[in-house]
Amino acid sequence: MLENKKILITGGAGFIGSNLCERFVAQSNEVICLDNFLTGRKINIEPLLSKSNFTLIEGDIRDFEMCKKAVKGVDVVLHQAALGSVPRSINDPITTNSINVSGFLNMLKSADEEGVKRFVYAASSSTYGDSKSLPKVEDEVGKPLSPYAVTKLVNELYANVFSSLYSIETIGLRYFNVFGRKQDPDGAYAAAIPKFVKAFIDYKSPVIHGDGEQSRDFTYIDNVIQANELAATTTNADAVNQVYNVAYGENTTLNELVPLLRELLTKFDAKISNIQVAHDIGRFGDIKHSLASIDKAFILLGYKPTYTLKQGLVEAIDWYWNDLK
């Protein structure tokens, strides 16, 4: 268990970051949240603002001095700050690069200068690019298919160089389609599951891009929290300075996912059972199939995901129903 440590969580008001903040504040850590609220939401961390062991720093990781201030005296950095979304990166590669690459380098450099021992960062399954092999294995990547994927690959390269040249230990976690409580369903670049759920709740047809046969390894947020905690606390020398897949280890097509969402939501409102699905053209830069091997994370970190897709959806939909209603 990660406890009694001083932890910096960048992007701590975002979906994943705020869940990490909540968990580690509850475990008697001193938690510092750094966020510029470009995509993070203050409502995600509002219950924590009154806690004596929680500090919010409103700042941007593109500001090196701000990064140095945030990492003062910190034991562990959980770096979640990034500008996500493949389509957004295609529309605005400059901003994506400035946050995801320059901001990442600022955080890594400042953490090393301030003597932070462990730097755990959010990597991405998009790094696998055009690789056709399934399941995805950490050392077999393809060519990136979007500016976002390029930035996340560069993060891994920088982390590897820093752990080779300096004293800081780095661990990258390649997230696969994370979903769960506090995930924003609004906006042009919202993730699939919250968008689909909101559409059903609003009695609108959820829109699938393409034929719906694309598959993803959907991963519930509590599995991701577990992986971060293991990465932050491992004492296995072979486990550090590595990159790991963080997923459940099964893939599901969108044509399978959306009826399951409708079925689970019908328990709250029977009228949702009559809502049909709409289709649109496919999105450029998206991969067709994604499925992770989690063997490496199991062997070196002891990672054992505790939530299946359906178990996670049951909890997530309960949260969304109460939040959106």
Check pLDDT > 90 for residue 188: no
So what's the pLDDT on residue 114?
96
Q: Catalytic: 244? A: no
* Average pLDDT over every residue of 253-271: 95
So what's the pLDDT on residue 239?
98
Check pLDDT > 70 for residue 319: yes
% of the chain residues with pLDDT over 90: 89
* Nearest-angstrom CA–CA distance, 135 and 115: 37
So what's the pLDDT on residue 298?
98
Of 104, 105, 78, 112, the closest CA to residue 6 belongs to: 78
In this prediction, residue 187 has a pLDDT band, given cuts at 50, 70 and 90, of: low
**What is residue 281's DSSP assignment?**
P
* Nearest-angstrom CA–CA distance, 194 and 257: 12
Check pLDDT > 80 for residue 282: no
In this prediction, residue 279 has a pLDDT band, given cuts at 50, 70 and 90, of: confident
What is the CA angle 94-289-133, rounded to 5? 100
* Average pLDDT over every residue of 302-310: 97
- Among candidate residues 121, 128, 148, 307, the one labeled active-site is 148
Of 39, 48, 43, the closest CA to residue 20 belongs to: 48
In this prediction, residue 245 has a pLDDT band, given cuts at 50, 70 and 90, of: very high
Can you give the pTM of this predicted structure? Answer: 0.94
So what's the pLDDT on residue 325?
67
In this prediction, residue 7 has a pLDDT band, given cuts at 50, 70 and 90, of: very high
- 210 vs 263 pLDDT, higher one: 263
Check pLDDT > 70 for residue 231: yes
Of 225, 64, 65, 46, the closest CA to residue 56 belongs to: 46
User: pLDDT tens for residues 96-138?
Assistant: 999 999 999 999 999 999 999 999 999 999 999 989 899 999 9
Tokens of 96: 């994506």
Check pLDDT > 90 for residue 271: yes
User: pLDDT tens for residues 288-305?
Assistant: 889 999 999 999 999 999
Check pLDDT > 90 for residue 284: no
% of the chain residues with pLDDT over 70: 97
Check pLDDT > 70 for residue 190: no
- Superfamily of segment(s) 6-179+217-250+291-306: NAD(P)-binding Rossmann-like Domain (3.40.50.720)
* Average pLDDT over every residue of 245-258: 96
Check pLDDT > 70 for residue 144: yes
So what's the pLDDT on residue 86?
87
In the chain, where the domains are located: 6-179+217-250+291-306
Check pLDDT > 80 for residue 189: no
Of 187, 167, 180, 170, the closest CA to residue 123 belongs to: 170
* Average pLDDT over every residue of 193-205: 94
* Nearest-angstrom CA–CA distance, 256 and 295: 25
So what's the pLDDT on residue 60?
98
* Nearest-angstrom CA–CA distance, 60 and 293: 34
Handedness of CA 291, 9, 234, 154 (dihedral sign): positive
* Cβ–Cβ under 8 Å, residues 154 and 142: no
